[in-house]
C-alpha cells in the first residue's frame, strides 16, 4: 500500500499495530459463523468457555454451548445471558463416575450428534476429549484441560490401574480423529502424548482472565486458597496440617463444615462463593496457596495473581511453565518448606509485595485479545483441513512468556 508524494515519488504508508489488528480482525469476521462447543458446569471448563465466547463476540461468531453435567447455576445463567453470541443447550445428565473413570454416556453422545445435525456448525469444539470418537460430520478441534491418567499418577505416585486401559484406548482413538488438539499448557500436552499418543498436530494456547472485577484492594493479613479438603489433587489438606502453626489465619473457599467429612482443623471454611464474593476474598488476601499435585492451568491462581496476591504453588511442570519467577514453589509433600515460605513472606513485607506484583504483571501478559485471535486463526486452519487429513506431525511451541 502506498501514496504519492508531491514530487510523484511513491512513499510507504505506515500502519501501526492497532490498525493492523483491526484489519486482520475484519478479514476474519465473515469466514467463520457457527461453532458447537461442549462445556462443563462444575469445573474450570465453564470459566474457560465464558472467556472464549466473550472474546469471540467481535468476530461475529455464534456459539452453541452444549453443557454437560449439572444444570446451570443462577450466576452461570446470568453470565451466559450477557453474551449475545451464545445459545445454551443443557443436557442436565450428570457425568457418571465408576472406578475412578469418567464414563461417556451413550445418551449424551447421541444428544451431541443431534445438536450437530440441528445447529450445522462450521467447527465442533470439544472440551471433553472422550467424545472425540463420536461420528462427527464436521471438522473437529479438541481442547485438553486435564488428563485423568496423569492426574491419577500425580496424586497416587503410581500408574493408573490396568482396568483403565480400555478407557485409555478409547481416548486415544478419539483424540487422534481430531484435525487439531489444543493444550492449555505444554505440560498437559506432554502428558497427553505420553498416555494417548503418538500424535503431534497440536497447539498450545494459554488461558486468560479478562474479568474487570479482579483487582487488588487494601490487603489484610490473610492467607487464602480454593478447593475441597477431600480433593487430593489440589492438596488443600497440606494447608490444613500446618494452619495452626501460621501467624495468619487461613481461609478456604469451596468447602463448608456441613458438607465436609474431614476435620478442618484451623482452616476457616467459607463454602462455595459467588463470583463477587470470591473476587472480594482475592482482593483482600495477601497470600494465595495452591499446593497442587496436578493442575494444567488453574483459573483460581490467575484470579489470585490479578488480585495481586503473593503465590505459593505446587512445584509441578505446568505451574512453573505458566508462572516462571512470579511465584514461590514447594514440593507438594514438603509441609515444612510450605510453612517456611509462608512465614518468611509474613515476616518480610517487601518480599511479599514484590512477589505479588510479579504475579499480577505475569497474569496481565496473558492477553484476551491474543487468546481470541489465536483461536480464530486455529478454527480457520481446522475448517480448511476438512475431515480427511487426520493428525500429522507438528512441533509444540514454547511459552512466549518464559523468563
Quick: pLDDT tens for 289-311: 999 999 988 899 999 999 999 99
Residue 397 lies in a domain: no
Residues 50-93: tens digit of each pLDDT? 999 999 998 989 999 999 888 898 889 999 999 999 999 998 65
- Between 264 and 155, the more confident residue is 155
Let me know if residue 166 belongs to a domain.
yes
CB burial readout 198-229, b (16+ within 10 A) else e: ebebbbbbbbbbbbeebebeebeebbbbbbbb
Pair 277, 297 in one domain:
yes
Instruction: Give the percent of the chain with pLDDT over 70.
Output: 80
In a domain, 213, yes or no: no
183 lies in the same domain as 238: no
272 versus 170: which is more confidently predicted? 272
Residue 200 predicted with pLDDT over 80: no
Residues 47 and 173 in one domain: yes
65 within domain boundaries: yes
Higher pLDDT, 152 or 344: 344
Is the residue at 146 inside a domain? yes
216 is a domain residue = no
Distance CA 97, CA 151 (A): 15
Considering the domain architecture, whether residues 292 and 377 belong to the same structural domain is answered as no
Highest mean pLDDT among 27-36, 97-106, 248-257: 248-257
Question: Are both 322 and 263 inside the same structural domain?
Answer: yes
User: At a CB cut-off of 8 Å and minimum separation 6, what does 367 contact?
Assistant: 208
**CATH number for 178:** 3.40.50.2000
Q: Is the pLDDT of residue 115 over 80?
A: yes
Q: How far apart are CA 369 and CA 133, in angstroms?
A: 32
In a domain, 167, yes or no: yes
Of 303, 308, 283, 289, the closest CA to residue 359 belongs to 308
Same domain? For 40 and 153 the reply is yes
What pLDDT is recorded for position 8? 47
Residue 365 has pLDDT above 70, yes or no: yes
**Higher-pLDDT residue of 169, 66:** 66
Q: Which of the four pLDDT bands, split at 50, 70 and 90, describes residue 7?
A: very low
pLDDT exceeds 80 at position 32: no
Judge if 198 and 227 occupy the same domain. no
Q: Is the same domain home to 199 and 318?
A: no
Domain count for the chain? 2
For residues 402 and 206, the model is more confident at 206
**Close Cβ partners of 347 (under 8 Å, ≥ 6 residues apart):** none
Q: Based on the domain organization, do 132 and 238 belong to the same domain?
A: no
Residues 154 and 74 both lie in one domain: yes
pLDDT, mean of residues 172-191:
90
Range of weakest confidence among 83-92, 263-272, 276-285, 325-334: 263-272
Q: Mean pLDDT, the chain, as a whole number?
A: 83
pLDDT above 80: residue 402: no
- Per-residue confidence band for 342, with pLDDT thresholds at 50, 70 and 90: very high
* Residue 178 shares a structural domain with residue 293: no
pLDDT at 166: 64
**Using alpha carbons only, what angle is made at residue 297 by residues 37 and 205, rounded to the nearest 5 degrees?**
55
With respect to residue 85, please indicate whether it lies within any of the assigned structural domains. Answer: yes
Does the pLDDT at position 394 exceed 70? no
Position 285 pLDDT exceeds 90: yes
Question: What domain range includes position 339?
Answer: 223-364
Residue 196 in this model has a pLDDT that exceeds 90: no
154 and 23 within one domain? yes
Amino acid at each position: 500500500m502506498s501514496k504519492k508524494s508531491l514530487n510523484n515519488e511513491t512513499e510507504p504508508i505506515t500502519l501501526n499495530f492497532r490498525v493492523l489488528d483491526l484489519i486482520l480482525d475484519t478479514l476474519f469476521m465473515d469466514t467463520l459463523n457457527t461453532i458447537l462447543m461442549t462445556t462443563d458446569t462444575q469445573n474450570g471448563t465453564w470459566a474457560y468457555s465464558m472467556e472464549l465466547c466473550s472474546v469471540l463476540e467481535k468476530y461475529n461468531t455464534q456459539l452453541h454451548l452444549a453443557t454437560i453435567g449439572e444444570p446451570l447455576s443462577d450466576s452461570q445463567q446470568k453470565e451466559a445471558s450477557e453474551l449475545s453470541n451464545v445459545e445454551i443447550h443443557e443436557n442436565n445428565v450428570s457425568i457418571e463416575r465408576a472406578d475412578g473413570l469418567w464414563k461417556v454416556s451413550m445418551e449424551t453422545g447421541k444428544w451431541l450428534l443431534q445438536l450437530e445435525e440441528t445447529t450445522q456448525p462450521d467447527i465442533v469444539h470439544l472440551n471433553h476429549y472422550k467424545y472425540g470418537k463420536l461420528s462427527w460430520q464436521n471438522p473437529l478441534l479438541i481442547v485438553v484441560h486435564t488428563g485423568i491418567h496423569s492426574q491419577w499418577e500425580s496424586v497416587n505416585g503410581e500408574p493408573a490401574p490396568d482396568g483403565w486401559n480400555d478407557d485409555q484406548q478409547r481416548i486415544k482413538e478419539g483424540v487422534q480423529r481430531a484435525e487439531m488438539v489444543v493444550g492449555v499448557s505444554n505440560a498437559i500436552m506432554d502428558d497427553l502424548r505420553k498416555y494417548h499418543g503418538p500424535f503431534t498436530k497440536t497447539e498450545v494456547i494459554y488461558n486468560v482472565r479478562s474479568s474487570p472485577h479482579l483487582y487488588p484492594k487494601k490487603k489484610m493479613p490473610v492467607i487464602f486458597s480454593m478447593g475441597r479438603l477431600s480433593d487430593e489433587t489440589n492438596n488443600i489438606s497440606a494447608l490444613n496440617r500446618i494452619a495452626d502453626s501460621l501467624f495468619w489465619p487461613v481461609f478456604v473457599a469451596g468447602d463448608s463444615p456441613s458438607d465436609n467429612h474431614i476435620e478442618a482443623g484451623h482452616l476457616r471454611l467459607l463454602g462455595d462463593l459467588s463470583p463477587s464474593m470470591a473476587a472480594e476474598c482475592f482482593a483482600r488476601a495477601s497470600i494465595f496457596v495452591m499446593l497442587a499435585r496436578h493442575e494444567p492451568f488453574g483459573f483460581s491462581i490467575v484470579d489470585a495473581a490479578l488480585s495481586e496476591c503473593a503465590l505459593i504453588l505446587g512445584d509441578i511442570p505446568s505451574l512453573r511453565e505458566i508462572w516462571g519467577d512470579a511465584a514461590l514453589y514447594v514440593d507438594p509433600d514438603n509441609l515444612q518448606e510450605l510453612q517456611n515460605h509462608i512465614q518468611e513472606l509474613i515476616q518480610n513485607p517487601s518480599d511479599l509485595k514484590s512477589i505479588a506484583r510479579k504475579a499480577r504483571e505475569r497474569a496481565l501478559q496473558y492477553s484476551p485479545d491474543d487468546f481470541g485471535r489465536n483461536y480464530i486463526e486455529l478454527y480457520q486452519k481446522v475448517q480448511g483441513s476438512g475431515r480427511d487429513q487426520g493428525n500429522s506431525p507438528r512441533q509444540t511451541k514454547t511459552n512466549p512468556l518464559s523468563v
